């Protein structure tokens, strides 16, 4: 009985570590220019910015990384196209583009604004804003404001034709 309980505890701890893999991964940044304000904990990168954080890859013109308690808390990308890629597994890729992308590292929520597009499992979603929760794998999309006649667009591949749809301009 004790062995079964011990085995369950070890399994739970291993799953917790795996689920929290992104938050434990270092953030690697390549850019043409960088500046940091030690007092506010804000770092700004400009020019062909490439970020890798575990299974996440981000590309943008300008990126700001906010810190809380000496730990990166959010990544804000600006410029078009800013893009975000997340490999859930070897064959499953979530990819997104928008003029502004914000990724909250702690909550693992991706917010896309202005000409947003998200591709997930062959389904393509376009709208003015899209919010995607990487933990629960859920999304919300919104068209333009009430004075604009803009709505979201959703393209769902046929079941018998699982063609890959690419996020494009």
* Pair 100, 79: CB distance under 8 Å: no
Q: Which CATH number fits domain 26-155: 2.40.30.10, 1.10.287.1080, 2.60.450.10, 3.30.428.10?
A: 2.60.450.10
Q: Quick check: 103 and 110 in contact, CB under 8 A?
A: yes
Distance CA 83, CA 70 (A): 26
- pTM (predicted TM-score): 0.76
CB 124 within 8 A of CB 118: yes
Provide the token pair at 154. 């959703």
Domain ranges of the chain: 26-155
Give per-residue pLDDT as tens, 102-159.
999 999 999 999 999 999 888 999 999 999 999 999 999 998 765 556 788 888 888 7
Asked if pLDDT for residue 95 goes beyond 60, the answer is yes
């Amino acid at each position: 009985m004790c062995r079964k309980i011990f085995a369950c505890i070890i399994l739970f701890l291993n799953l917790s570590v795996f689920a929290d893999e992104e938050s434990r991964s270092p953030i690697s940044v390549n850019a043409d220019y960088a500046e940091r304000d030690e007092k506010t904990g804000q770092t700004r990168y400009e020019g062909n910015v490439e970020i890798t954080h575990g299974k996440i890859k981000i590309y943008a013109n300008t990126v700001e990384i906010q810190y809380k308690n000496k730990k990166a808390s959010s990544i804000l990308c600006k410029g078009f196209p800013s893009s975000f890629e997340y490999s859930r597994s070897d064959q499953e890729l979530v990819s997104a583009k928008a003029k502004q992308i914000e990724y909250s590292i702690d909550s693992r929520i991706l917010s896309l604004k202005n000409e947003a597009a998200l591709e997930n499992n062959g389904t393509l979603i376009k709208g003015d804003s899209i919010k995607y929760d990487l933990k629960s794998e859920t999304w919300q999309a919104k068209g333009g404001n009430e004075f604009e006649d803009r709505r979201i667009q959703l393209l769902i591949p046929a079941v018998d034709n699982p063609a890959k749809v690419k996020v494009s301009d």
